[in-house]
Amino acid sequence: MCGIVGYLGPRKASEVLLQGLKMLEYRGYDSSGIGYIFRNQIKVYKKQGKIINLEGILPEPQAAHCGLAHTRWATHGKVTDANAHPHLSQSGRVAVVHNGIIDNYVTLKEELIKHGYQFQSETDSEVIPHLIELALTQNPQFSPEEAVRWALNRLVGTYGIVAVFADYPDLMIGAKNGSPLVIGQGKDEIFLASDPAAFIGMTREAAFLEDREMVIVRKNEWVTKTMQNEVVPRSAEELSWTAEAASMGDFPHYFIKEIHEQPEALRRAFGHGGRFLPDFGTTKLGGLNLESRDLLDIKRVVFIAMGSALYASQVGAYLLESVARIPASAEDASEFRYRNPIVDKDTLYFAVSQSGETADTIQAIQEIQQRGARVLGIVNAVGSTIARLCKGGVYIHAGPEISVTSSKAFLGQIGIMALLTLLLGRMRILSLARGKELLKNLEDLPCKIDAVLTQASQIHQLARKYLSHTNFLFMGRGIQYPIALEGALKLKEISYRHAEGFSSGGLKHGPLALVGPETPSVFLLTEGDSFEKVLSNIQEVKAREGQIITITNSNDPRVAAISDDVILVPHTEELLAPFLTLIPLQMFAYYTAVELGVDVDRPRNLAKSVTTE
């Protein structure tokens, strides 16, 4: 959610920090700030709103070589300049930026007030610099490192922090517990950040902190330690993605760029065919780190996820039950751990997340692991917390997804789930011939997605046609139901239009009351067992003067006869049709947002990586 950048090196810190903040804008924020050490003082500049507002108050870059910066997404306290980070200690000699939530901050704040500390903000984060200063004041023999360790041991909650000290201009300290922090190793310079995107244009060498670890950064050197002051050997490794991959290129927005990258993203999820075993009609997913006998012992599969990843997981569960005949379900991670779930060792759990930093999903993983069951990851971000926490899994390899609204990562997730389905299905009931048939259909999908993308102009016209409408219904049946949910989510996320997804079979159980001329209904209608049922649902809406947009792979003349608008997608295996019906929904949401003048890549109140509960 929030973004952290720290820098120690020969360049002007304010320029480096500002560049880092701009690379983190995609995470979502409502205010930003920069602090750096100059002439034995910490200079702090903070402003609510966009980073351009912060730029407007920054002085000319000064010869400061150590500093820290932050983009805030409000949790405690309103969106104000005072609540933005960095936060200073009372003397102004310590500055801290913080991601996470301090659960016991009220108790700590009361204690600090008794010691004479005055607070300038409403945030939980401000207790941290005051605690560090209190430690230094009460224990003159403490080094800054010892003071930070003392302060952090007082905290209950989650944090990723960076601290700098006016009296130590060549020192920067970072720490992590439940909120990511990564070290960037450049030539004669070191970065700390919540996301490697902050420094990817300056170095690709990175190392990731684990929970309850600190990093002590001095001129061109760093060391990681536990909270018990034990050194943890760790070295930087080269990141797999580049600054160019994270650029917008010739597209007006990241979201439409990433929509158009989906054919290639799916090819990467398939390992450019490297994850296919065509002679055996199956797939290989070596990252699972499981033997065939372990996979055969699985009695159930459960996906744990949030947001779009949860809808992708519902598609995955449908695939597994339909094809591999394994009981499967998708669980909302934020609900999972609080209901005392039944966790058993015969169930294989998958944590699904684009960022690999989703707080609710991480906590669900920890709950499952604590109960002795196995959790694997399906993530995009290499080296992320979920990737490290799980003992195996599969990378999506979609490349950096910058827009807050997911597109290619969602497609990659269901791509991996299709591979998993084929792998487990062939071990059980799926014949060689059927396995080969499904594999061939998977192989053909990227080209068919390319064909759907050529309809961008038609979909743009549809967005214009329905621009005056403020409420939409999205409906699908079977495996198309979670795609309807995802389509509704996309529209509400980036256009701020109210949209709801329903199973078309549930139409008469409530949603039909919303149908009328002012509420368009988007139906996903694909050839297969449920075709006639969905067609009947469309007729019910038509009978009540509802406007109908149908996304279909059928040339049945009845579809055009009862629909106001039809988007035709290529034909494929019924269970793989979501890969194609998804694309028009993404583009419809995009063009609606563009026509409304909305900030497509950074929708209000939303963050790319939700790192707090």
Place of tokens 């016209």: 461
Helix (H, G, I), strand (E, B) or coil at 471: strand
- The single residue of 2, 12, 46, 490 carrying the catalytic annotation is 2
Q: Is 2 a catalytic site residue?
A: yes
CB 186 within 8 A of CB 132: no
Distance CA 447, CA 432 (A): 24
Eight-class DSSP state of 519: B
Catalytic choice (12, 46, 176, 608):
608
SS3 letters across 578-589: HHHHHHHHHHHH
Can the peptide bond before residue 140 be classed as cis, meaning omega within 30 degrees of 0? no
Report the chain's C-alpha Rg in angstroms. Answer: 26
Strands of the 498-503 sheet, one edge to the other: 498-503, 471-476, 521-525, 548-552, 565-568
Q: Pick the closest to residue 392 from 296, 274, 237, 286 (CA basis).
A: 286
Indicate the residue type of 486.
E
Nearest one of 66, 58, 53, 44 to 121, comparing CA atoms: 44
Quick one: which H or E segment has residue 410? helix 408-427
Instruction: Select from 395, 543, 453, 487 the least CA-distant residue to 261.
Output: 453
**CA–CA separation, 364 vs 309, rounded Å?**
14
Is 390 annotated in the active site? no
Which residue type is seen at 43? K
Residue whose pair of structure tokens reads 């950048």 in the numeric block: 5
CB-based burial, 214-247: b 16+ in 10 Å, e otherwise? bbbbeeeebebbeeeeeeeebebeebebeeeebe
Assess contact for 88 and 44: CB atoms under 8 A. Answer: yes
Active-site positions read 2, 608
